[in-house]
Chain A
């Protein structure tokens, strides 16, 4: 399936335009979280933002364009978080865990958005899939030096395996576990790093320690 998007609107040139665009993006995220991509409408987004349909089209060509902008904005936030959380950590095990903690914190903060993206994102359109793949490739490349230090011979395979495991763990944790059983991002990062580095026989103990950064 391919959806043709209208031409991209020019970036905001004034403070007022930046605020209006931000209000639409914020409303868009909430509507996409609530109704999903296919259920969301431009009418619902502008109603929540308190703006007119005309105002919407000054900033975004259509529903696909606002979702794309949102996807880009969220990917930027995640990349920045992981980069700064891991940049100055010399120990590869601790660096891995710090990166995972940032990912789980991000997932927790935007859990409904992440859920929609993981359920619907890849099925919407090739361009959404391409943006998600680009994000994953960036993250995989960023993990490369860490995997080299850890002596992992197949860094790309390991990186995509880790991203898949972390994504699925986050989804399971937030949408299938009772709230009282959920781990904090740090505990989840510790468990995930343990599974990744030591395999399924890693003895991650709640409140205890393991080799992945303690």
Chain B
């Protein structure tokens, strides 16, 4: 039996143990869904580099580890440790999850308009199935993505956010995922469900940090359902431990005239795979997907995005930028599919990469599939090094070589950072980047 097959059987066997627990916890109605998902996983198994979608990313380092499902650890994290990650005080509304499990003690939610739900998904599965069931796993497909299938089978907790019609929430809602594995190989399956009804506006931040976590796996799925004329500002900050694995899918479905902005910031982790999929499923939808990935050492960072233009007059803008040092391997695959009904589509995709070392590599691949003639689509991808003329210019004014390099690298990143509208996130990221880049440029 190959390593992949052996791993597949291991996960399926683990599901047999897990299903009793899932039923016991009251979310028994999810069992058929979980069963379908694990059956699908049993059929497809883990991807190999022969799969087109995984051509440049081998999951072997993840597959060979025997991860144990993470238990809730109520006493593992104190607020002070959270504050030290710099992620603790981003927003007043904060749901904290320790190793994938909701921590009421660390969470706090301010006063929200009536009818707004910001709570643990585990609780919602038990107490509020009618609110969850119409959406859960209806968008993130577990049919052809092994990790989404596993998340769907094993999901226990995450955030459930529901904003009813016509609600504008100014304060960002921060979903903070903290890992504390302490060297033990554990896996958590964060599952977030964000349902924003028509005419509502919300800002959501997802952060992934660690407090003494090493060698763990985060396998997350976030589903966003944006109602008609809704406005959603989403930002994901991935700051996992440098020895950790992070595989996550963000799946959004946008209704008519809705506006969805999502930033994906990748700063940590040993092997990272992000899938961001957006379906523009109503006329006049507007979607912005931006990303920034910063890699050093021997890390592997894979960003896959897919935007489906399904209806007329939708706009999509995409800007992903990578800063790659050391022996980092990065992948960007950006797919845009324009359906036959999607006339007057306006889609623009850009991927830019800055290589700071000789050994860093990037595989960048734009994919446009267009089935309508009346559209405007463009893509660009570039790979480059720091501009020698600009370096000399700065140095000729007295800036040291390292400072000049750090400044130009920061400037490269700032095009993405400056587009983040959630001010505390932007400011926090600014500080993080400045410190990180100074370190990189000194080495």
User: Is A bound to B?
Assistant: no
Binding site for A on B (CB under 8 A): none
Binding site for B on A (CB under 8 A): none
